[in-house]
């Protein structure tokens, strides 16, 4: 599987929603009942990510199949302003990966996405990763 990441757009919304639905099913089947509830992430979340140029999709270049999607936030995250019982190693600019969902488990897709994010944005903070 040869993977590539690109910015997502309106044409990707339905496929991303289906991928996230699968990730939710995987979480529920494996005992995670507290994350991604009440329709989150929603079409509105994905549309907002697109408007901010933050939706990233990962495709298998051999087949064109969309195998992962995530929000690559490059602006400061308010929930990471203050840390209790610890500290960030520095205050350098950072990226935050949100809503990473993968279509397949055990193929290194999530790792590929996180490595891409780190290579392109340096420091990363607080990720929530769901594999399906």
The total number of structural domains that make up the chain: 1
CATH number, domain containing residue 92: 3.40.630.30
Question: What does the pLDDT profile of the chain (132 residues) look like in tens digits?
Answer: 899 999 999 999 999 999 999 999 999 999 999 999 999 999 999 999 999 999 999 999 999 999 999 999 888 777 767 777 777 677 777 788 999 999 987 788 999 999 999 888 877 776 444 444
pTM of the entire structure?
0.86
pLDDT of 75: 80
Please compute, for residue 5, the number of CA atoms within 13 A of its CA located in the half-sphere on the CB side.
22
Measure the CA–CA gap between 36 and 39, rounded to whole angstroms.
Answer: 7
CA distance 61 to 12: 16
CA distance 1 to 61: 7
CA separation, residue 46 to residues 23, 57, 110 (Å) = 15, 11, 19
Residues 132, 25, 42, 69, Cα dihedral to 10° = 10
- Where b means 16+ CB within 10 Å and e means fewer, 60-75 reads beeeeebbbbbbbbee
The residue range of the domain holding 126 is 3-131
């Amino acid at each position: 599987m040869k993977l590539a990441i690109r910015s997502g757009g309106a044409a990707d919304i339905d496929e991303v929603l289906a991928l996230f639905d699968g990730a939710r099913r995987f979480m529920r089947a494996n005992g995670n009942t507290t994350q991604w509830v009440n329709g989150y992430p929603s079409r509105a979340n994905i549309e907002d990510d697109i408007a901010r140029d933050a939706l990233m999709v990962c495709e298998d270049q051999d087949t064109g199949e969309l195998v992962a999607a995530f929000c690559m936030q490059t602006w400061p995250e308010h929930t990471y302003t203050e840390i209790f019982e610890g500290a960030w190693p520095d205050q350098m600019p950072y990226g935050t990966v949100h809503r990473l969902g993968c279509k397949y488990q055990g193929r290194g897709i999530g790792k590929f996405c996180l490595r891409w994010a780190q290579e392109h944005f340096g420091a990363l903070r607080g990720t929530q990763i769901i594999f399906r």
